[in-house]
Amino acid sequence: MAYQALYRVWRPQTFSDVIGQGVITQTLRNAVASNMTSHAYLFSGPRGTGKTSCAKILAKAVNCLNPHDGEPCNECEICKAANENRLNDVIEIDAASNNGVEEIRDIRDKVKYAPTEAKYKVYIIDEVHMLSQGAFNALLKTLEEPPENVMFILATTEPQKIPATIISRTQSFTFRRISRQDILDRMVYILNDKNIKYDEEALNIIAASAEGGMRDALSILDQALSYGDDELTLKNAQEVTGALSNEQIVSYMTAIAENRPADALTSLYQILASGRSAMRFTEMIIRVCRNLILYNSNSDLSQQMDKSVMTDELLAIADKFDNTRLFYIVDQVSATQKNLKNSNQTDVYMEILTVKISEPKVEQQVLSPSTSSQEEVETPVDNRKVEQLGDEIASLKQEIKQLSNQSQTPASNSQNYNSKPKRSSKKGTHLNKTAIYQVLENATKNDLNTAKDIWPDLMSMLSITQRSIMSISEPVAASNEGIVVAFDYEMWFETAQDGFLDELTNNVGKLLKKDCQVVLVPKAQWPEIRKEYIANNIDSNKSNNVESKSEQKKTDPTVDEALKLFGDDGVVEVKDD
């Protein structure tokens, strides 16, 4: 006989075999035992939670020749025929492929015929929400008052798509997700029955990946056993589910805790290069933060930690996080998950997320307005900090004044492109407007195209961290002796400006085989700078035109007439009469 998947071999055959749905199975068992079954049932809930299995067990139980307390015996001819899918009175219909009015009318026409061999004719309609509106209307009357000895069992994963008129004609049962412990116990039972060696940590990973579905858990277990040649190891489970190894998550979270964005990015690239899913990675970050929050709380909540996630290495760095920062990380990861679902640029979103959550002093960014105002009232004023801030404001004003004077001074050819701008020691945006104006003065489209052509080669010459920062930049203007590069985010513009601008300039010179200055600018400020340059040029041209016209007006008409007669070389002297 051909190999059968685990979830088919171990499909429940009695109500007691169904895992995690005790209330539902007890209700159905009692109904069968007391002959109080309904003519129509609606089973709804997530995938792999036992809806179809319960429907088949119920169909067997109401027709079983020797039931035991509402359970089918699985030994009589009816039960054996049902288990082998050859009982004609149990009809399974897939509504996804039979969703038209004609199919439902066919059921309505045949439902009046009596069962051939069983007591009840049972119609099991799976994924019933896929029926069309016309099909639902055709089913209404039959569902409300079916002939005697006919039962309908409807199963769906999306009950909200079923008309209320259908739901009101059925007994509705909502199946819940199966707990992780119930899934673990079932897998252990199956593995012990098959005498297969297993790693408990691997079972925890599979149970977490199943997300409450027993069928999903058994499918993943089947795949892991095939990958590991009938042996379940931690590595096999991680490879099959795409789960992160302990070393990977510890390396990443340690870099986050110690505010080292470069190391965190390196760890991120290694995780993505190993084939791990970005969505699964974000889920793991949230799980780790959840467990760290429970661990940091001085209460019984710490007992609710997931021991399969919280290794000794993660517990060792728990004191480097406080709950405020952990809440901030969870918020940022959740926002990134929404972007990942609607974008193909998963790497970029993960890079931005990594830099955000690894920045220091995030506690100041996540304080609510009410908390901030309350702290301002309660915290005493520090005069030294006020004086320090005053000095910084004065220094910034001086820098703004100098930049304003530079922007008003026309660009002169006497300044060399290779001269570097004098940078302030204060942290902030360092813009070299003079160099930008010089590039714009001689900028051409051909030079910009040349800069864009060499951009991929320039990226390959940078380190991994530098490449990730430059991935959100692009050349926006270029001349024969300079290139203006705009950054999407000012934070990364400052990082490049202070970190490796010289290296960028040298690499561009190597690629173009000539001296070429690289000038950086935040993209948000680029339109304003270009507008200022254009306005300055227009004012300058107007001024030159006015001067030339005034000089023409000041010439003597007599001299002009004499020049016409004697030419430009003649000497003309005008004497008054």
Q: Identify whether residues 34 and 139 lie together within a single domain.
A: yes
Cα 100 to Cα 87: distance, rounded to the nearest angstrom: 25
pTM above 0.85, yes or no: no
Strands 482-487 and 473-478: antiparallel
User: pLDDT higher for 360 or 455?
Assistant: 455
Portion of the chain with pLDDT greater than 70, in percent: 78
Q: What is the pLDDT of residue 97?
A: 85
Is the same domain home to 157 and 287?
A: no
> What confidence tens digit (pLDDT) does each residue in 247-302 have?
888 899 999 998 888 899 999 998 888 888 888 888 889 988 888 888 877 656 55
Domain final residue pick, 338, 366, 394: 366
Please check whether residues 49 and 138 belong to one and the same domain. Answer: yes
What mean pLDDT, rounded, does the chain reach? Answer: 80
Question: How are strands ordered across the β-sheet holding 517-522?
Answer: 473-478, 482-487, 517-522
Q: Same domain, yes or no, for 225 and 342?
A: no
Residue-wise pLDDT for 193-226, tens only, equals: 989 888 888 898 898 888 889 999 999 999 999 8
Instruction: Please state the φ and ψ torsions of residue 248, each to the nearest 5 degrees.
Output: -65, -50
Which range, of 123-132, 388-397, 455-464, averages the lowest pLDDT? 388-397
Share of the chain above pLDDT 90, in %: 29
Say whether 205 sits in a helix, a strand or coil.
helix
Domain that holds residue 457: 428-547
Give yes or no: residues 16 and 126 share one domain. Answer: yes
Residue 319 neighbours by CB distance under 10 Å: 11
How far apart, in whole angstroms, are the C-alpha atoms of residue 179 and residue 22? 12
Assess whether 93 and 211 both reside in one domain.
Answer: no
Rounded Cα gap, residues 419 and 417, in angstroms:
6
Once rounded to an integer, what is the mean pLDDT over residues 161-184?
A: 92
Q: Report if residue 393 sits inside a domain.
A: no
Q: What is the pLDDT, as a whole number, of residue 435?
A: 84
Whether residues 153 and 266 fall in one domain: no
**Which 3-state string (H, E, C) describes 459-500?**
HHCCCHHHHHHHCCEEEEEECCCEEEEEECCHHHHHHHHHHC
Domain count, the chain: 4
- List pLDDT tens digits, range 17-69: 999 999 999 999 999 999 999 999 999 999 999 999 999 999 999 999 999 89
* Residues 53 and 170 occupy one common structural domain: yes
Within-domain flag for 412: no
- Domain presence at residue 372: no
CA dist., res. 576 & res. 479, Å (int):
57
DSSP letter for 55, please: H
Q: Which residues contact 152 (CB under 8 A, 6 or more apart)?
A: 39, 40, 41, 122, 123, 125, 143, 146, 170
Per-residue model confidence (pLDDT) at position 34: 92
The reported pLDDT for the residue numbered 30 is 94
The structure tokens listed for 35 are 């002959």
Tens digits of residue pLDDT in 94-145: 888 888 888 888 888 888 888 988 999 999 999 999 999 988 988 888 888 8
Residues 168 and 66 in one domain: yes
Q: Which of 150, 174, 198 is the last residue of a domain?
A: 174
| Angle 480-485-487 from CA coordinates, rounded to 5° | 175
Which of 138, 156, 174 lies at the terminal end of a domain, its last residue?
A: 174
The string of pLDDT tens digits covering residues 525-538 is 888 888 888 887 76
Tell me the CATH number at 201: 1.10.8.60
Residues 124 and 201 in one domain: no
In this prediction, residue 395 has a pLDDT band, given cuts at 50, 70 and 90, of low
Stronger pLDDT, 372 or 397, i.e. the higher one: 397
Q: Assess whether 72 and 192 both reside in one domain.
A: no
> Is 152 contained in some domain?
yes
Residue 225 and residue 89 in one domain: no
Distance, CA of 524 to CA of 506 (rounded, Å): 26
Instruction: Write the CATH number for 542.
Output: 3.30.300.180
**Considering the domain boundaries, does residue 403 fall inside one?**
no
CATH classification at residue 75:
3.40.50.300
CATH of the domain at 289: 1.20.272.10
Residues 401-432: pLDDT tens digits? 666 555 454 444 444 444 444 443 334 456 77
